[in-house]
A and B are shown apart, each in its own frame.
Chain A
Amino acid sequence: MSNPLISVSDLTVTFGGSRPVHAVNGVSFTVGTGEVLGLLGESGCGKSVTLRSLLRLHPPRRTTYGGRIEVDGHDILSMSEEQLRRYRGSVTSMIFQEPLLAFDPVYSIGRQISEAIRRHRAMDGTAAEAEAIRLLDRVQIPQAARRYHAYPHEMSGGMRQRAMIALALSCRPKLLLADEPTTALDATVQIQILLLLRELQREMGLSIIFVTHDIGVAVEISDRVAVMYAGRIIEEGPIAGIIGGPAHPYTRGLLASTVTQNMRGTRLEAIPGAPPDLADLPPGCAFAPRCSHASATCLASIPAYETHAGRGVACFHSLNDEGVPPSVTAKVS
């Protein structure tokens, strides 16, 4: 990947106010054309904020961005408002967690899709309507022509999310941002939506950044995952590698706290404590107060992000395959 479609380097996002909130603190990653990156983490870790920054959706008067975001040659953070409007929806589009809230309740879903089409593609009302119906059909909404006139509250959650996908893909974007799009759905519907997204992604050669806190969902859809904690990426790598051998104690904790079928009777592990206050971050590693491997170094300074063979991790005591930090092993032997 000599020239990735998306390249984010050292992104910081701060929300102003009397107590500034440092939501994203130096995030860097790249996503290639046709690649799906899963962005994994707990609520409040900065994954959604990072995602929305790619469209510069945060309220401009309260938000300070730092670093650089490049998508398909566009320098997002230095765009004018007009350039931004042309970019939004056409190069990069987004699907949201709760489609009932992400659709305007007083317009039919068809109108909202053709509205986007007319905004970005040179089509008149009739052509845009026909295109919107074609898209609704493409995302497997039955009786698409009739559903064009349906209002959001008249559809089921799964149908609404399909319509949301149709809307997001209506202007043939290169990058799709997915903000927990399956979290609000039933398990069976979740799978259908994930399969549909995967299929459309292959067909259109889309790049997707998929934010989720559900490891199962991330496994289903992603080529690569990045794990975020307190506004930083703390581990990144191919999905199989991360699942098979997490290097960061937080990733390990996250995987161990997942409920799976074969765990009946065994104790579910939880990470003790709570994520740090983003307005008052500790000086060292943000996970150190909750980490069983933490040492004095961890509390004092922030570990550098080191990459090796397609994997990256930010930890002074990154774990080997046995789940024991090499430094600890060295002391014991």
Chain B
Amino acid sequence: MLVYLLKRLLYALPIALSVTLVCFLLVHIAPGDPLNAVVPADAPAEVVNALKAAYGFDKPLPVQYVRWLGRALTGDLGTSVATGRPVADEVLSAVRNTILLAVIAAIIGFALGALLGGVAGYRHRGIVDRLATALSVVGVSVPHYWLGMVLTIIFSTRLNWLPAMGAGPGGSKEWLWDGEHIRYLVLPVATLMVIPLGIVTRTIRALVADTLSKDFVQALRAKGLSDRAVFLHVVKNVAPTALAVMGLQLGYLMGGSILVETVFAWPGSGFLLNTAIFQRDLPLLQGTILILCLIFVLLNLMVDVLQPLIDPRMRRS
């Protein structure tokens, strides 16, 4: 088991390294010059060259990569071209906001999905099952930015119950756990949790129905176990796969909420990414993508470590 853990940790390193390489290259493969956005078109050539040298854009790509990586390892992700602030600070405060949103959406979505999917799996072809299936299809299919706009129209514009934009009153960026701030969470969380809710419902339903049809469930009943005791066996059988799906979904929530954060002007990593793209703020873009990718790698690592703890068949090293 310990060997497996160490191995898995070692595997994570080259993955993380290739993530940094891809992040770095993606930005440089994209057409256009990173300085175009900040330097006026009629700026004299020597000013442009001086700026290029200042940002290191005049060096060959491998050199740029190694220097960028070296600085990134020490926590220095460069300076934002647009704002002049350190990228690391911008990204970290944005990621904090995104984690807040994603984790709350995940907790609610996963819990509801597990409940619905579990009941649907037990009551195969029953009313709850049909309802859950319909709901999960809708959840997966509805574009969530569209849903976000519809919710905003209904609950903010028409009913005026909930704020439509931002993460706090007066555009405040500091998060506080009070009623006033939580009101700002409701619509983005509701929008964001729809997809994981749909996917988790569908997955758990299929897993539970499949497990219940297995011989060993009959064998457990045959030895006189109560439904509750059998349920615990089912949970432990379903958990490894469910965890893997949930880990992936949480990863998507962390990185994929770009549209939802833009719709609700939520000052998170998606919003930041959107800003960075439109302002052609390369260091910021790189830094944000890098941090999001590393979070994804970390989440997968956690799932891979948890799974064999539950399922002994995965413990072979």
Contacts and interface: CB of A to CB of B under 8 A. Distances in A.
Interface in A61-120: 85-90, 93-94, 96, 98, 101-108, 115-116, 119-120
Given A102-B215, A104-B237, A105-B237, A94 B222 contact: yes
Interface residues of A, number: 30
Nearest to B310: A106
Contacts of B158: none
A229 interface: no
A105 B216 contact: yes
Interface stretch (B94-102, B223-231, B288-296, B297-305): B223-231
Contacts of B223: 88-89, 93, 115-116, 119, 167, 171
Interface string B198-223: 00000000000000001110111111
A86 B215 contact: no
B204 to A, nearest CB: 16
Contact of B224 (A102, A104, A116): A116
A102 B237 contact: no
Contacts of A120: 224
B222 A101 contact: no
Q: Which of A57, A87, A102 has the most CB of B within 10 A?
A: A102
A119 B224 contact: yes
A87 B224 contact: yes
A119 B216 contact: no
Nearest to A105: B313
Contact of A88 (B222, B229, B233): B222
A88 B224 contact: yes
B222 A104 contact: no
A102 B233 CA distance: 13
Nearest to A151: B312
B311 interface: yes
Interface in A142-171: 151, 153-154, 167, 171
B313 A151 contact: yes
A154 B223 CA distance: 23
A14 B219 CA distance: 21
For the residues of B in contact with A, the DSSP-based class is helix
B222 A107 contact: no
A116 B223 CA distance: 6
B236 A89 contact: no
A50 to B, nearest CB: 15
A120 B224 CA distance: 8
Contacts of A6: none
A23 interface: no
Interface in B243-272: none
Contact of A57 (B221, B236, B312, B313): B221
Contacts of A313: none
Q: Which of A52, A85, A120 has the most CB of B within 10 A?
A: A85
A311 to B, nearest CB: 32
A122 B311 CA distance: 30
Contacts of A230: none
B219 A105 contact: no
Nearest to B123: A61
A120 B229 CA distance: 14
A86 B224 contact: yes
A55 interface: yes
Contacts of A105: 216, 237, 311-313
Interface in A29-62: 52, 55, 57
Contacts of B225: 85, 115-116, 119
A102 B216 contact: yes
A96 B236 contact: no
Contacts of B214: 101
Given A85-B224, A87-B224, 17 more contacts: A55-B222, A85-B225, A85-B226, A86-B224, A88-B223, A96-B219, A102-B218, A103-B216, A104-B219, A104-B220, A105-B311, A106-B236, A106-B311, A106-B313, A116-B223, A119-B224, A167-B223
28 contacts: A55-B221, A57-B222, A85-B225, A86-B224, A88-B223, A89-B223, A93-B222, A96-B219, A98-B215, A101-B216, A102-B218, A102-B219, A104-B216, A105-B237, A106-B233, A106-B237, A106-B312, A106-B313, A115-B225, A115-B229, A116-B224, A116-B225, A119-B223, A119-B224, A119-B225, A151-B313, A153-B312, A167-B223
Interface of A: 52, 55, 57, 85-90, 93-94, 96, 98, 101-108, 115-116, 119-120, 151, 153-154, 167, 171
